[in-house]
Structure 1
């Protein structure tokens, strides 16, 4: 390869991280009834980069998602409940979860759920300043999934810990992925501080809204124990559960 070509490649890599704001931000949202607004810090650019935090606010549709980290949670039971209620979900997984839970991953896929990318090492994507390392956080997960299932992962990405920057969103879009944040989440992931059934049901059902992207953590014992009741109640209120593949186009 010519030296000039190598220089061009290096410059391209540098420019990838030099044109946009690299300040690390934390995802949050402001809800007022069915109206959900993004963080003020990113409101001016969030929609430029195939980023979703809510679907159609005019339709009673909920997109159910779960984050899977390194831990072994209650996913098998959750899958039982989803199957009984005919509800699709998206499971965002890190590479070690695929390695340690191949049968669960294959079951998710076989039962029609989306197995989506949550990175290899669960870092703040905003802090990765090397484009090759940034890309590897996606590619290594996809490779592990493809080796297991023979398929590429769906092109949905959830930034670990909800940390992002304008630059990281841009780089994610450039990889062909949609960034999926959420319009509902609550403190459900601390295993030794699980909320009561009553608190969790009131929180989840009471905050339901049109187009909701719901984030739950599969490590939550409470979530698992109330999930069947929650799904049935939300359906009785007229909500439908849809796959992320049915998000409205931008």
Structure 2
């Protein structure tokens, strides 16, 4: 009888694993990309093959393109010594931001996260272990997101979390659906540049020019706080944007 029970359990587990594998195999991944803004015109995803998928699940890559508003966001996978300086500038300039954090950041940077919340910023979800969301099961997606949310709630005064940036900008119809059921809005971006390679920093003016040249109404700006260039250019980027008549708002203040 024990052998029969063990066989039944084994077959049940095997069937479950097969179902997960089939779901993952049939889950077509997309890699987020966009046409950059030029001369102040809005960025575009009209030529990408995923526009309808984003719309279907309420995901965003920019806000209202009729308003001269900007939304500053950072991805924080690990700390490289520059986030405090960025926070200093944001506080001085009165600019809010969203910091999307991973499990590693949660485990190692509680003081910085507390400061983010204390100074009026939002913490968003960047997953616990930064996996390709299209290659893991629904249950694992839920676990990845819940762990970040729960730990941020324990470590800071922020008790809710409903903004998510998929790791590496990889997503699918399934991953968007699972995260949306948890109450998340998937947030992509309409301004970005290659700033995450710490061995390829080129100076504050390079960062300044890369960001300011792409400014457009309703833009969601993606930056990485590990970049020294970004930290050094933060003040000048904000000043240049304000001189052009832009206002910085937090993502939860947007009007779609």
TM over 0.5: yes
User: Equivalent residues in 2 for 1:1-20 (5 A)?
Assistant: 18=23
Match of 1:235 in 2: 242
Cα 1:244–1:51 change in 2 (3 A) is same
Does residue 36 of structure 2 align to residue 28 of structure 1?
A: no
Cα 1:54–1:179 change in 2 (3 A) is same
Cα 1:225–1:32 change in 2 (3 A) is closer
1:156 pairs, out of 149, 159, 163, with: 163
1:89 touches 1:243 (CA, 8 Å); kept in 2?
A: yes
Match of 1:125 in 2: 133
1:175 pairs, out of 172, 182, 185, with: 182
Q: For 1:226 and 1:71, how far apart are their aligned partners in 2? A: 18
What secondary structure, in the 3-state scheme, does the structure 2 residue paired with 1:35 have? coil
Match of 1:81 in 2: 89
Q: For 1:150 and 1:57, how far apart are their aligned partners in 2? A: 32
Match of 2:144 in 1: 137
Match of 1:97 in 2: 105
1:81 touches 1:228 (CA, 8 Å); kept in 2?
A: yes
Cα 1:75–1:157 change in 2 (3 A) is same
CA shift for structure 1 position 18: 4.9
Structure showing greater radius of gyration is 2
Q: For 2:37 and 2:80, how far apart are their aligned partners in 1? A: 35
Q: TM-score, normalised by structure 2?
A: 0.86
Cα 1:150–1:205 change in 2 (3 A) is closer
CA shift for structure 1 position 32: 4.8
Q: Could you list the per-position Cα deviations for residues 61-106 of structure 1 after superposition, in whole angstroms to 9, with x for gaps in the alignment?
A: 0000000003434110100000000000000001121111111110
> Which structure 2 residue ranges, 5 or more long, are not aligned?
1-11
Q: Could you list the per-position Cα deviations for residues 190-221 of structure 1 after superposition, in whole angstroms to 9, with x for gaps in the alignment?
A: 11110233322221111100000000100000
Match of 1:40 in 2: 48
Q: For 1:200 and 1:19, how far apart are their aligned partners in 2? A: 38
Give the helix-richer structure, 1 or 2.
2
The alignment covers a number of residue pairs equal to: 237
RMSD (CA atoms): 2.1
Q: Could you list the per-position Cα deviations for residues 20-63 of structure 1 after superposition, in whole angstroms to 9, with x for gaps in the alignment?
A: 96111111111354232226221222111120100000011000
What secondary structure, in the 3-state scheme, does the structure 2 residue paired with 1:142 have? helix
2:82 touches 2:231 (CA, 8 Å); kept in 1?
A: yes
Match of 1:216 in 2: 223
